């Protein structure tokens, strides 16, 4: 059987027969464990709970109500069927003008309307996955590389490398300084690549970060823009979690704001990747966006988008939804409230059994610190603990090693892809696991408080809807690593 499979592979291309997709990663192994034994409250109450999927399911009721109130937005309803012919016929790869206008306006609104986006620079793609690959094709040749600060999303190894032949060079960031990106780390990674005869063509950032749930401050962004200008390399900024910032939202800074302030910046080096998968919770719609300040990249990416367009039916619906200012404003505010409430509930539940997380206020996940449960501070020990969590605790959490984290013992835990009842089951399982491990419970007084959240003025009303006495997500839980 093995020899037959080997002969079959020999007849295929290197891409088809290779392992470039990265499915052998524990990140994807966790998904497989869930798919073979999925949790259901009645049909399979002992199954694996999916906590490895960064998906925002907390506001579907708002979207569903909008659809009921606006049936004409869909060409598959009696109210919208008159538009069926115009939407169903051939559309070129520029996309519907109303779609590009609505997306450009939405991108500006998510960033506090401090920057404006040109609809003519909007290039659509089949999700952020397709957008990243297209940008990689436009900016680098096979064998050339992008710098990527760690920890980073495991899918980048597939999205940017598999079919393009591009390499990723990690910029190692450590827990000792909360995984912040430093100029020293950037220079070290760049120098190491030069010594290895690897041509660096760009820097890839994720802001807010997946898996950290943090966003970059203005000073850091300015430093990184100066770095890429000095090296004359590209900057690709993935901002797909921009609207998931649930506290201190006015402090979120897009790379677009930085280049508006920095007149010396070479705009031809700046490119954004965006989507509606996280901010709106629409991963199934496969709406990916490339926004480049480089005219040649816009032109090339648009031609390449023919291989992964967004359906005109989806464009039509999204254009109508995002053009409704009242709905968008309400959705963004309510989404931030619900994410804050869920984040607060989960961090409190973890803290009560002595589990800390990186201080965060964005994203759909927590960066959970379990290094104190490792028998030794190694990746092997991390994988043993992860196997216990998957096989015995029955939670699919993602180990830090799959995110190229240089410090063992960190795990990404997604909290927005489930209902409240499932979250409570997950927390109950974690409590049982910690009791079995006889982990000493930290004093509650150090972990919980009754004072209000330290949020920006526009988010103070969160205190009215979050009644739990547990610690604010703004309170640092990160312990020094031993």
Q: How is residue 393 annotated by DSSP?
A: I
In the Cβ-directed half-sphere of 278, how many Cα atoms lie within 13 Å? 29
Contact partners, residue 482, CB within 8 Å, separation at least 6: 371, 372, 377
Active-site option among 39, 117, 153, 215: 153
Burial of 62 (0-12, 13-18, 19+ CB in 10 A): middle
The pLDDT of residue 248 is: 58
If one counts every other C-beta atom within 10 angstroms of the C-beta of residue 183, the result is 12
- Looking at 282-419, list the stretches that DSSP marks H as alpha helix, in order from N- to C-terminal side: 295-304, 312-322, 325-351, 379-388
C-alpha 23/C-alpha 132 separation (Å) is: 18
Confirm if 351 and 447 have CB atoms less than 8 A apart.
yes
C-alpha 410/C-alpha 379 separation (Å) is: 10
Contact partners, residue 208, CB within 8 Å, separation at least 6: 214, 215, 239, 241, 242, 244, 245, 252, 362, 363
The pLDDT of residue 454 is: 33
Q: Among positive and negative, which fits the CA dihedral 395, 444, 467, 214?
A: negative
Active-site option among 157, 238, 279, 369: 238
The pLDDT of residue 42 is: 96
Quickly tell me which residue has 């006495």 as its tokens.
Answer: 469
What does the DSSP assignment read for 20-88?
A: TT-TTSHHHHHHHHHHHSB-BTTTBTTSBEE-S-----TTHHHHHHHHHH-GGGSTTSTTTGGGHHHHH
- Is 240 catalytic? The answer is yes
What's the full length of the chain, in residues? 482
**Would you write out the chain's pLDDT as a tens digit for each of its 482 residues?**
667 666 666 778 888 877 777 777 888 888 899 999 999 999 999 999 999 999 999 999 999 999 999 988 888 888 888 888 887 777 777 888 999 999 999 999 999 899 999 999 999 999 999 999 999 999 999 999 999 999 999 999 988 988 999 999 999 999 999 999 999 999 999 999 999 999 999 999 999 999 999 999 999 999 999 999 999 999 999 999 999 998 755 578 999 999 998 878 999 999 999 999 998 888 888 999 999 999 999 999 999 988 888 888 888 889 999 999 999 999 999 999 999 999 999 999 999 999 999 999 999 999 999 999 999 999 999 999 999 999 999 999 999 999 999 999 999 999 999 999 999 999 999 999 998 886 444 444 433 333 333 333 333 333 333 334 343 333 333 333 33
Contact partners, residue 171, CB within 8 Å, separation at least 6: 147, 148, 149, 150, 181, 185, 186, 188, 189
Q: Please name the helix (run of DSSP H) or strand (run of DSSP E) that holds residue 428, with its range, or none.
A: helix 420-436
- Is 29 catalytic? The answer is no
CA proximity to 405, closest of 425, 429, 426, 378: 378
Can you name the residues that pair with 203 across neighbouring β-strands?
Answer: 147, 235
Q: What is the pTM of this model?
A: 0.86
In the Cβ-directed half-sphere of 433, how many Cα atoms lie within 13 Å? 21
- Is 238 catalytic? The answer is yes
CA distances to 23, 30, 50, 384, 397 from 34, in Å: 15, 6, 6, 18, 10
- Is 153 catalytic? The answer is yes
Active-site option among 228, 240, 255, 390: 240
Confirm if 362 and 250 have CB atoms less than 8 A apart.
no
Active-site option among 105, 201, 278, 359: 278
């Amino acid at each position: 059987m093995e020899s037959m499979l080997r002969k079959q592979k020999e007849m295929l291309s290197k891409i088809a027969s290779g392992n470039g997709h990265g499915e052998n990663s524990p990140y994807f192994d966790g998904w497989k464990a869930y798919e073979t034994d999925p949790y259901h409250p009645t049909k399979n109450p002992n199954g694996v709970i999916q906590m490895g999927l960064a998906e925002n399911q907390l506001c579907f009721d708002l979207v569903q109500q909008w659809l009921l109130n606006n049936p004409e937005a869909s060409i598959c309803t009696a109210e919208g069927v008159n538009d069926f012919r115009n939407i169903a016929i051939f559309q070129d790869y520029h996309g519907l003008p109303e779609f590009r206008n609505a997306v450009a306006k939405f991108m500006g609104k998510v960033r506090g309307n401090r920057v404006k986006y040109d609809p003519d620079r909007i290039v659509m793609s089949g999700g952020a996955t397709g957008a990243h690959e297209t940008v990689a094709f436009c900016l680098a040749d096979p064998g050339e590389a992008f710098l990527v600060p760690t920890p980073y999303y495991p899918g980048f190894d597939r999205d940017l490398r598999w079919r393009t032949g591009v390499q990723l060079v990690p910029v190692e960031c450590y827990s000792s300084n909360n995984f912040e990106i430093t100029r020293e780390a950037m220079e070290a990674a760049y120098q190491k690549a030069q010594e290895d005869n690897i041509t660096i063509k760009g820097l890839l950032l994720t802001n807010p970060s997946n898996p950290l749930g943090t966003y970059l401050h203005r000073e850091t962004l300015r430093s990184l823009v100066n770095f890429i200008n000095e090296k004359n390399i590209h900057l690709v900024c993935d901002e797909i979690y921009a609207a998931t910032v649930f506290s201190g939202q006015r402090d979120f800074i897009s790379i677009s704001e930085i280049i508006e302030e920095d007149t010396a910046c070479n705009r031809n080096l700046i490119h954004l990747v965006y989507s509606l998968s996280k901010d709106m919770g629409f991963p199934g719609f496969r709406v990916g966006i490339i926004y480049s300040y480089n005219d040649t990249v816009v032109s090339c990416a648009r031609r390449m988008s023919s291989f992964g367009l967004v359906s005109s039916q989806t464009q039509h619906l999204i254009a109508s939804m995002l053009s409704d200012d009242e709905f968008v404003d309400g959705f963004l505010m309510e989404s931030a409230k619900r994410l804050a409430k869920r984040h607060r509930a989960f961090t409190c539940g973890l803290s009560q059994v002595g589990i800390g997380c990186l201080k965060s206020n964005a994203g759909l996940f927590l960066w959970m610190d379990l290094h104190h449960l490792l028998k030794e501070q190694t990746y092997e020990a991390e994988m043993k603990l992860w196997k216990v969590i998957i096989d015995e605790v029955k939670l699919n959490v993602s180990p830090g090693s799959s995110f190229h984290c240089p410090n063992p013992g960190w795990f990404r835990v997604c909290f927005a892809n489930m209902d409240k009842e499932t979250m409570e089951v997950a927390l109950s399982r974690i409590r049982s696991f910690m009791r079995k491990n006889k982990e000493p419970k930290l004093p509650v007084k150090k972990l919980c408080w009754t004072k209000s959240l330290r949020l920006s003025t526009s988010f103070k009303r969160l205190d009215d809807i979050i009644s739990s006495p547990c610690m604010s997500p703004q309170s640092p839980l990160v312990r020094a690593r031993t």
